[in-house]
Amino acid sequence: MEPTFSVVIPTYNRAELLARTVQAFLAQEGVALELIVVDDGSSDATPEVLAGFRDPRLRVLRQPNAGMAYARNAGLLQARGQYVLFNDDDVVPEAGFLQAHLNLHQRYPRAAGVSYTYIPESLGQDSFIRFWRARAESGVRGRADGALLGWGGFWFASLSLPLEQAEAFAPMRGYGWEDHELGWRLWRKGVRPRLALGARAAHEDRVSLDVMVAKSRSLGRMAWQFYRLHPHPLVALWTGVHPLARAYKRWAYPWARAERLLRVRDWEGGAGAFACYRFVLEAAYTQGLLEGATA
């Protein structure tokens, strides 16, 4: 019997987190699944961890390190389920996760199901984690089950869709916009992202301000790859590559001020910390946009 869901998990050097995610999927009840883990050239204990799972539903693919897009695409090629669910190795599902995705697809046959991910309290309560928790959960908090999320709602860190509608990811050279590039293609074909409210999952990624500054800067650079693949006015405005958007961002988010804030961080404990975090990340993104314009 073919599985209802093909769960595709790309992974690279995150053996401990991966073990928790795999175990949580294999513990799902009521929905038939195959679990396809694509080891993207890990050099840690990932092979040994995966070898420890004695479950015929788990299939492991190994490839030289090539990046997230190639790993997801390799898993997609092997998928046999009615639905494919892309899930990052640090997104740990709760009980009933797959059933919630199935329920959503039965209600909305052409939808992409977006999981309700949250940053667990176990990751801490320091100033930046609290800011990031509020920011990361803002898109789903307070939304009803099945809520339409708009063209920016495709988040392939944990998202499902009918296998017949799935397409390959573009191999973008860096961090950022990869998910939204595929989401843009799906949206234009009539696929709409909807919130699967009961599909709760803990996003166990332990972020820091420095890490997110680097990622935001890369996002700005990768915006140009997205736009060059899809030179549409809405993409230009959405990403900020439009000349007027860039001019505004350069004026509103000067990198020199962000550097000063990063150098002396006595503001992090104050009432205005969240506003400063937002400014720094916007300035990092803007700096990436400016760098990408001349690349």
- How far from 204 is each of 177, 197, 246, CA to CA, in Å? 21, 19, 33
In this structure, the chain runs to a length of 295
Picking from 152, 175, 203, the residue at the C-terminal end of a domain is 203
Supply the pTM of this predicted model: 0.94
Instruction: State CA 149 to chain mean position distance.
Output: 15
Do 246 and 114 lie in one domain? The reply is no
Residue by residue, pLDDT tens for the chain (295 residues) are 789 999 999 999 999 999 999 999 999 999 999 999 999 999 999 999 999 999 999 999 999 999 999 999 999 999 999 999 999 999 999 999 999 999 999 999 999 999 999 999 998 889 999 999 999 888 888 899 999 998 889 989 999 999 999 999 998 888 889 999 999 999 999 999 999 999 999 999 888 999 999 999 999 999 999 999 999 999 999 999 999 999 999 999 999 999 999 999 999 989 999 999 999 999 999 999 999 988 7
85 sits in which H/E element: strand 83-87
Using alpha carbons, select from 82, 102, 89 the residue that is nearest to residue 28.
102
Which stretches of the chain are DSSP H helices? Answer: 15-26, 46-51, 68-78, 97-107, 127-137, 178-188, 209-229, 233-239, 243-252, 255-263, 273-293
247 and 169 in a single domain? The answer is no
Which pLDDT belongs to residue 166? 97
Query: Are both 277 and 197 inside the same structural domain?
Result: no
State residue 294's pLDDT score: 83
Per-residue confidence (pLDDT) for residue 49, from 0 to 100: 96
Classify residue 256 by burial, with Cβ atoms within 10 Å: 0-12, 13-18, 19+. Answer: exposed
Q: State whether 156 and 41 are in the same domain.
A: yes
SS3 state of residue 13 = coil
What is the separation of C-alpha 126 from the centre of its chain, rounded to a whole number of angstroms?
23
d(CA 284, CA 289): 9
Last residue of a domain, one of 152, 183, 203: 203
- Rounded distance between C-alpha atoms, residue 170 and residue 154, angstroms: 15
Sign of the alpha-carbon torsion through 13, 97, 183, 60? positive
CATH number at residue 21: 3.90.550.10
Q: Are residues 11 and 86 in the same domain?
A: yes
Tell me which residue range forms the domain holding 237: 209-293
Q: Sheet of 5-11: strands edge to edge?
A: 58-63, 33-40, 5-11, 83-87, 158-162, 111-118, 192-203, 91-93
Q: Max alpha carbon distance in the chain (Å)?
A: 60
Do both 127 and 261 map to the same domain? no
Q: What is the distance between the alpha carbons of residues 34 and 78, in angstroms, rounded to a whole number?
A: 10
114 and 228 within one domain:
no
- Report which DSSP code applies to 271: T
Is the domain of 103 the same as that of 198?
yes
Query: What crossing angle do the helices spanning 273-293 and 243-252 adopt, rounded to 10°?
Result: 140
The predicted structure's pLDDT at residue 91 = 97
Same domain assignment for residues 120 and 100: yes
- Cβ atoms 107, 158 nearer than 8 A: no
224/190 same-domain check: no
Contact between 169 and 182 under an 8 Å Cβ cutoff? The reply is yes
- What would you report as the CA-atom Rg of the chain, rounded to the nearest whole angstrom? 19
Last residue of a domain, one of 180, 203, 226: 203
Parallel, antiparallel, or unpaired for β 158-162 and 111-118?
Answer: antiparallel
- Are residues 38 and 152 both part of a single domain? yes
| Whether residue 89 is found in the same domain as residue 156 | yes
Residue 195 · residue 114 · CB < 8 Å:
yes
Nearest 5°: phi and psi at 5? -120, 135
How many folded domains does the chain comprise? 2
Instruction: Report how far Cα 5 is from the mean position of its chain's Cα atoms.
Output: 19
